[in-house]
Chains A and B, each alone.
Chain A
Amino acid sequence: MAEQLLDNSMLRLLERGPLCAANDPSWLAEVRRAARQRFEQTGWPSSEREDWRFTPRRQLEAFSPRVEADDAAGREPGRVEALLSRHGLGQEAAAELVFINGRYQASLSHMRQLPRGVMLLPLREALQSDQGRVREQLGRLAGESAPVSLNSALFEDGAYLFLPRGMEVQGPIHLLFLNDGPEQERDGATIFPRLLLIAADAAAASIVETHAGRGWYLSSAVAELFLGRDSRVEYNKLQEESAQAIHLSALHGRLGQGASLVSHSITLGAKLSRNVLEATLDGERAQTTLNGLVFMDGDSHSENHTLLRHAKPNCPSHELYKHILADRASAVFRGKIYVDPGADGTDAKQNSKSLLLSDQATMDAMPALEIYADDVKCTHGSTIGPLDDEMTFYLRSRGVSLEAARHLLTYAFAADVTRRISVGPLRQRVEDFLASRENLPLDLRITETGAHDDAAR
């Protein structure tokens, strides 16, 4: 029954499978077959499901992908180069892997500043060279949701990162997904980035995952992060997809004892975006910070669903999601903190703050706590509203125009998240984006000091 709701060409795409499938190891072929079956059976989830209630399903169903291989020759020359020069970190990254429509581009990538022993490979290569570990870990955390199934059935490539014990990588590792779809609605491109990161004990690295593009396409990304004992990972995801794009993402992390995961999820683009982020604190004293910033205008829709699972005792977690919605934009934040029985000493703080710049913008924030341990500290808070009238008046009373005051306060609202990003060039990129959107000078740097939001660090 669900099959009828799927676009015909989506079914044909699933039938066709990934173009690289001939090189798949046999275990992967089996994984793909099961995933395809799941997706074909259920299709896009029903809006009767609580977590899909707000998703404009019609947009997903209406997406009509190109089934034939991508026709790179038909592309207007210079499009990808323009995207690359805009979004690449170049030498500011310790390594940069560039993907165009999901396929690895060796000639545009570099890994020259990576220390010896770090394995950073296109996933397709890793499937050959480190097959044991990949086979063991791929799909272990991501579950079986519709977007994950779609990705598992169809991914062509992605990135594999293995950090050996005690290895600390200086400088960010950049995974850059540049997507190039047609300018008209039909025959949209499909991209299924797949990432697998394994940090052995006491390893440390910063990752930046960027998604950007032009035209009509659907991207459904899956990332799985395994953090060994005392390892530290900062994971930054910057979504600047095209205004026509559909962006789905699933990020799943598991943290061992004493490990630390800091995640920044920045949503600036796409017509429809839906991010799922699940982290399990699976060892004592593991800690995580999940920060998010969403800036949407027009008719775009964005969702962030986070699940923070405290499975072991004495783990602190901080979560701060900020939304800025203009025009008729709509957004959803569902943040759940789940505390397992026995996870005493849990200290979880969650905060969602949303700024509505127009009367027609809508925000649905749904914090949820599920606690099965006794000795825990869990707090959550949520505010939704327009710009603060008192702050606006204060600025105006000094001679700053109403318009400038609004821009400044909007920027400052967002800067509360951006200032926490430790990867300099990324922080700058996001702040420049916001400053230019708010007609503020690019050299504007908001104060570093002041922890006015204790939910985030």
Chain B
Amino acid sequence: MALLEIENLRARVAVPGGRDILKGVNLTLEAGQVHAIMGRNGSGKSTLCQVLAGRETYEVTGGSVRYDGKDLLELSAEERAREGLFLAFQYPVEIPGVSTSYFLKAAVNAQRKHRGEKELDAAQFLKLVREKMKLLEMDASFMNRAVNEGFSGGEKKRNEIFQMAVLNPRLGLLDETDSGLDIDALKIVSNGVNRVQEQDRTRAMLLVTHYQRLLNYIVPDRVHVMIDGRIIKSGGKELALQLEERGYEGVEGELVA
């Protein structure tokens, strides 16, 4: 059964006179699969991620999204998260004054409560977190720092994947997680993503990226090309290599021809 079914999704920035950024997106993601969406800047990839995560600055103007049999668009951002959807942000925000440990414990327990599970106490939480920190090769001091405050670009991305590992979602949306990473950080982060994916074979991931580079480390089952708010071409992992070779224009031209 499809975990995520996006049908003809249209969305715009929620301001008067805003024009559609998503112009009819169709995409189906099965449980256990990893898909990649590639496309240039401004093609609507990040907007799609934000809309799926429930950002209210965007307004859905048409289409539907079913997630695990539910109408995703009916749920608030926090309900989506509690139902197992996770967005790794392209630009994670700094939250001065809120420690990572407090924030993450609140998030874990909000999700556990939603699932009818017992909330974790401090010791149980610490154990969970330590294990996941190892996965992402993170320093122990990190939990006491304010969320993303003063982090380098690479640290922020690593923190996103670390949170994903802790929250253990059913669907991960990774919005340009590779951007701003040097090659060593890219390996650590990719390895983290793969380990998270290996832990639960029913999990699905949707990677958004400009570059084929990330897909050397995280091998997708399907690759989609997004141009101007639509997915114009889908294929196997070899499509990413074609894009790398011929560029988006090449793929676009081929379709027109």
* Residues of chain A whose beta carbon lies under 8 Å from any beta carbon of chain B: 388-391, 393-402, 404, 408-409, 411-413, 415-416, 419, 444, 446-450, 452-453
Contact = CB atoms under 8 A, between A and B. Distances in A.
A446 B99 contact: yes
25 contacts: A393-B77, A394-B89, A394-B147, A396-B78, A397-B78, A397-B81, A397-B89, A398-B81, A398-B104, A399-B82, A399-B114, A400-B103, A400-B106, A408-B102, A408-B106, A412-B97, A446-B97, A446-B99, A446-B146, A447-B98, A447-B145, A449-B146, A450-B97, A450-B149, A452-B96
Contacts, number: 105
A228 to B, nearest CB: 36
B98 A396 contact: no
B205 interface: no
B103 A408 contact: yes
Interface in B48-64: 53-57
B32 interface: no
Contacts of B47: none
B155 to A, nearest CB: 13
Contacts of B80: 397
B128 interface: no
A397 B98 contact: no
Contacts of B55: 393
A398 B51 CA distance: 15
Identify the 3 closest CB pairs spanning chains A and B, nearest first: A412-B97, A399-B81, A398-B107
Contacts of A416: 96-97
Given A399-B110, A447-B144, A394 B92 contact: yes
Given A399-B111, A400-B78, 15 more contacts: A391-B93, A396-B78, A397-B80, A397-B81, A397-B86, A397-B89, A398-B107, A400-B106, A400-B110, A401-B78, A409-B98, A412-B96, A444-B102, A446-B97, A452-B146
A395 B87 CA distance: 11
Interface string B56-90: 11000000000000000000111011100011010
A404 B106 contact: yes
Contacts of B77: 393, 396-397
B146 A398 contact: no
Contacts of A444: 102
Contacts of B54: 396-397
A272 to B, nearest CB: 29
Nearest to A416: B97
Given A393-B55, A449-B144, A449-B145, A399 B96 contact: no
A446 B97 CA distance: 6
Contacts of A396: 54, 76-78, 81
A408 B146 CA distance: 12
Max chain B C-beta neighbours (<10 A), residue from A393, A413, A444, A453: A393
Interface residues of B, number: 39
Contacts of B92: 394
B16 to A, nearest CB: 18
Contact of B57 (A389, A400, A411): A389
Contact of B95 (A401, A409, A419, A448): A409
Nearest to B57: A389
Contacts of B87: 397
A394 B145 contact: no
Nearest to A418: B97
Nearest to B88: A397
Contacts of A390: 93
Contact of B110 (A401, A446, A452): A401
A447 B92 CA distance: 19
Contact of A447 (B57, B82, B97, B107): B97
Contacts of A404: 106, 110
Contacts of A449: 144-146
A415 B78 contact: no
Nearest to A388: B93
A430 to B, nearest CB: 14
Contact of B93 (A394, A401, A412, A446): A394
B107 A450 contact: no
Contacts of A413: 97
B163 interface: yes
Contacts of A408: 98, 102-103, 106
Given A391-B95, A447-B97, A398 B163 contact: yes
B78 A446 contact: no
A395 B96 CA distance: 13
Contacts of A401: 78, 110
A446 B150 contact: no
Contacts of B171: none
A184 B57 CA distance: 49
B167 interface: yes
A375 B14 CA distance: 49
Nearest to B110: A399
A388 B76 CA distance: 18
A438 to B, nearest CB: 12
A320 B22 CA distance: 43
Contacts of B106: 400, 404, 408
Contacts of B114: 399
A11 B56 CA distance: 58
A388 B98 CA distance: 13
A324 to B, nearest CB: 13
A452 B149 CA distance: 8
Nearest to A419: B97
B228 to A, nearest CB: 26
Given A412-B98, A415-B97, A447 B146 contact: yes
Contacts of B149: 450, 452
Contacts of A409: 95, 98
A419 B144 CA distance: 14
Contacts of A389: 57
